[in-house]
Amino acid sequence: MMRQYELVERVLAYDPSANEALLNRAYVYAMKAHGNQQRASGDLYFSHPLEVAAILTELKLDDATIASALLHDVIEDTDVTRAEIDQKFGEEIGTLVEGLTKIKKLDLVTKKAEQAENFRKLLVAISSDIRVLLIKLADRLHNMRTLGHMKLESRRRISEETLEIYAPLAGRMGMQGMREELEALAFKWGYPEAYQAVVDKLTDIHSRNVGLVEEIAAALQGKLAGAGLEAEVYGREKKAFSIWRKMENRQISLEQLSDIYGFRVVVPTVDACYRALGSIHSAWRAVPGRFKDYISTPKQNNYQSLHTTIVGPRHQRVELQIRTAEMHTIAEYGVAAHALYKDGIATAGNGAATNGALAKENPYIWLRRLVDTLLEGDNPEEFLEHTKLELFQDQVFCFTPKGRLIALPRGATPIDFAYAVHTDIGNSCVGAIINGRQMPLATQLRNGDEVEVLTAKGQAPPAAWERIAVTGKARSAIRRAAREALRKQYSELGRRLLVSAFRRVGQDYSDDKIKMGMHRLTQKTIEDVFAAVGRGELPINDVLRAAVPEAELAKHMAARRRPGLQRSQGEDGWFNITKGIGLKFRWPGSGSKDRQAQHQVLPIRGLRNDVPVSFEEGGAVPGDRIVGVLTEGEGIRIFQIHSPRLKDYEHERWIDVTWDLNVDMPERFPAKLSVTALNEPGTLAQIAQLIGEAGGNIDNLRMVRRAPDFTEMAIEVEVWDLDHLTRIISGLKGKSVVNKVERIFA
């Protein structure tokens, strides 16, 4: 176990101004707080926070972060309180330790919904101060290094969590060294058989290529020196996990994977990077399509390098990364190389930051944007899914017509591009011009594409766009727009129901009357009232009792009960429910002179979408007289006028409904038949053949009652209209094997 003075000396080596007394106090306090607590390995528990602090000294982090690492488990695992930490070490360290304590309570690999919600909490916690994330990653790294002492099931669970969340998060923060070690350890403990197979194969390859890495490095070094370039060349075999993932993605064997050697060329300046690239390409053949320039176009995590693949010495495919020393530091340590802490502002403690190594955009900004997205209140499971997509996917870089760079995940479409520019641009998008040509919105973008988004006022994003978009921001915005449109539809429906209900009790409707009774309706706004009524969640009578004085309501109800008085039937105006179902409904109007004014569309989606508009069992077909019923929590349900179930619903919830068919898009509708037929071989085949030849579709068939000679069956069919259904019934009655055919109205 590292001694107290060794830890302090490590910090002072890169930050001579560090608070030595603070580090000593934190060391002693944490050691005493944990006392004789032990880990699964049998080691003293204090060895864990001490090793976490040691990992962070390798990242050259400030004294407050190191002290927080030493103390990060004391609130969770001992009797120490946040108030004590604040008193002894200050509020800054207290906040960091408490943030880590909250994260420690999260078990990310649980049921999907819980995992998603916990991941939201984790990102909110780390977004307030990036040091929380850095300590958490170091904490996870040390736990992975000692995972062999855990039970098999725990090793697999923690390894899965590491591969899904922590390793990609470290990568997006630009900390490639930490990401690689996390992946390697998670691969080893989570997939031991695959890990051992890859390691054994790499050992075999290495034994057959002894000295190859050194030979290639020397050849590169000599070529660059001959071109007058001062360069350092580092060579290595790729990591086992990286090779395994590439094999999985490409569905190839290890023997087919030729580029398992990687080399880094570190030169003094950006100009030298491009000169080194030219020198190497002139000496060895470059592999087409494998060149990427991340210097002129950095990744979102600030990563910069030139990537190329050549066929080098011994005809080996060799991957090369060419970068400056400054780029190399950022590539290895990412956000830690900048010492970007609270709110993205640099503090003392890291030479890379003070030397001006900040690039165009730090990776912490990505995290803050991610948190902004999750705080908009989308479904946590969807958020986790889309965040994982953005964590794992590689990127494409596209440009606006004015030259603004937009970085997107690979597979992104113009829809994702539009939302990346601005949410309003995405919501009003109607098309896209890619490299001067108008292209479909489902087109996958490629590196270097110039994308111009075409917009139109009043446009709303279709729900189907969510299946095309790949970024979390685009998908959440599309869902949000769909929810808002749906709410408006329910709100309009609820308002019209209330206007009709007020007329029935002899009252003139006004918003002010609803507002006066709002305190009795458990709704925040009048739009909430309309929407709740439209969805069937708030009974209309409850609204009437809240908005109309009890004396007036009682007076009207008494008048309705007097002999000789009937409810007036005003002129009605029709409103489309949905073209998909082919229905429209009407509300009581004020007279025939208003009929034309009331012929307006109320766009509510239909049966197969997200607004519940459905048919009662037994169905209905065009030509039937039908009634719509607003049911609580189920939307509008369509009944045939003879359905015995109609009597179960109050008349106040009945909506006059008629058919509104689109002749250009014919659609079948459900009906239910009771057929009594002889028990003879081939009877069912004859019935099915007749329905099929008549153009009907059997959706379901059930034997209801079986006797020695006859069988009664219920057949659910889909037909175009009442005439079509009548022809099928007549045809069935004409069959000698059929005794009786009746239509069933449930």
Q: Is residue 355 part of a domain?
A: no
Q: Which residues contact 10 (CB under 8 A, 6 or more apart)?
A: 54, 57
Between 596 and 184, name the one with better pLDDT. 184
- Shared domain check, 282 and 251: yes
Per the model's pLDDT, the better-predicted residue between 574 and 79 turns out to be: 79
Check whether residue 716 and residue 646 sit in a common domain.
Answer: no
Question: Same domain for 571 and 687?
Answer: no
Tokens 């009664």 sit on residue: 712
Section 444-448 average pLDDT:
83
Residues 577 and 709 in one domain: no
Are 429 and 557 members of one domain? no
Q: Residue-wise over 105-131: b if at least 16 C-beta within 10 A, else e?
A: ebebbeeeeebbbbbbbbbebbbebbb
Residues 489, 601 within the same domain: yes
- The question of whether 76 is a catalytic residue gets the answer yes
Say yes or no: 458 and 493 in one domain: no
Sequence-separated (6 or more) residues with CB below 8 Å from residue 286: 308, 309, 310
Looking at the structure, tell me whether residues 540 and 636 fall in a common domain: yes
Flag whether pLDDT at 561 surpasses 70.
no
Split at pLDDT 50, 70, 90, the class of 167 is confident
Backbone angles phi, psi at 264, to 5 degrees: -115, 130
Q: Which of 58, 76, 466, 594 is catalytic?
A: 76
**Least confident among 148-162, 426-440, 486-500, 648-662:** 648-662
What pLDDT sits at residue 729? 92
How would residue 647 be classed by pLDDT, with cut points 50, 70 and 90? confident
221 in the same domain as 258:
yes
Q: Which of 29-33, 442-446, 659-663, 698-702 has the lowest mean pLDDT?
A: 659-663
Residues 612 and 682 in one domain: no
CA separation for the pair 398, 405 (Å, rounded): 6
Residue 695 clears pLDDT 70, i.e. is over it:
yes
* 77 flagged as catalytic: yes
Give the range of the structural domain holding residue 730, as residue numbers without chain letter.
669-743
Residue 362 lies in a domain: no
* Cβ atoms of residues 600 and 575 within 8 Å: yes
Say if 370 falls within a structural domain.
no
The per-residue pLDDT for 40 is 82
Q: What is the CATH number of the domain that holds 254?
A: 3.30.460.10
In the block, tokens 């051992």 appear at 196
Higher pLDDT residue, 561 or 248?
Answer: 248
Helices vs. strands in the chain: H and E counts, helices first: 31, 21
**pLDDT value, residue 415:** 94
**Which residue shows structure tokens 């000698």?**
736
Q: Kindly state whether residue 699 falls inside one of the protein's structural domains.
A: yes
- Cα–Cα dist 381/111, whole Å: 10
Structure tokens at 300: 């979102």
Q: Please identify which of the residues 58, 77, 86, 160 carries the catalytic annotation.
A: 77
Domain assignment present for 217:
yes
346 assigned to some structural domain: no
Which of 630, 659, 688 delimits the end of a domain?
A: 659
Of 20-24, 595-599, 652-656, 659-663, which range is least confident?
595-599
Nearest alpha-carbon partner for 479 in 419, 396, 524: 419
CATH of the domain at 734: 3.30.70.260
Strands 261-267 and 317-324: parallel
Question: Pairing relation of β-strands 395-399 and 317-324?
Answer: unpaired
Q: Has residue 203 been placed in a domain?
A: no
> Among 111-120, 199-208, 241-250, 615-624, which stretch is predicted with the lowest mean pLDDT?
111-120
- Residues contacting residue 706 through CB under 8 Å, at least 6 positions apart: 679, 712
Q: What is the mean pLDDT of residues 246-266?
A: 71
Instruction: Provide mean pLDDT across the span 653-662.
Output: 72
Q: What is the mean pLDDT of residues 29-46?
A: 88
Instruction: Indicate if the pLDDT at residue 741 is higher than 80.
Output: yes
Portion of the chain with pLDDT greater than 90, in percent: 21
546 within domain boundaries: yes
The pLDDT, as a whole number, for residue 253 is 65
Of 309 and 255, the structure prediction assigns the larger pLDDT to 309
Which one of 607, 627, 659 terminates a domain? 659
Say what the pTM is: 0.51
Domain count, the chain: 5
Residues 42 and 88 sit within 8 Å (Cβ to Cβ)? no
- Interatomic CA distance for residues 1 and 247, integer angstroms: 39
Q: Which of 54-58, 480-484, 596-600 is predicted least confidently?
A: 596-600
* Residues 49 and 23 sit within 8 Å (Cβ to Cβ): no
Last residue of a domain, one of 408, 439, 470: 470
Same domain, 513 and 440: no
Q: How many CB atoms lie within 10 A of CB 375?
A: 12
For residue 422, what is the domain's CATH number?
3.10.20.30
Report the pLDDT value the prediction gives residue 259, as an integer from 0 to 100: 61
pLDDT of residue 98: 81
Q: Is the pLDDT of residue 358 over 50?
A: no
Both 236 and 318 in one domain: the answer is yes
Report pLDDT for 432.
93
Of the pLDDT bands very low, low, confident and very high (cuts 50, 70, 90), residue 609 is very low
Share of the chain above pLDDT 70, in %: 76
Q: What is the mean pLDDT of the chain?
A: 77
The answer to whether residue 708 scores a pLDDT higher than 50 is yes
> Which residue has 């934190």 as its token pair?
26
CATH code for the domain of 52 = 1.10.3210.10
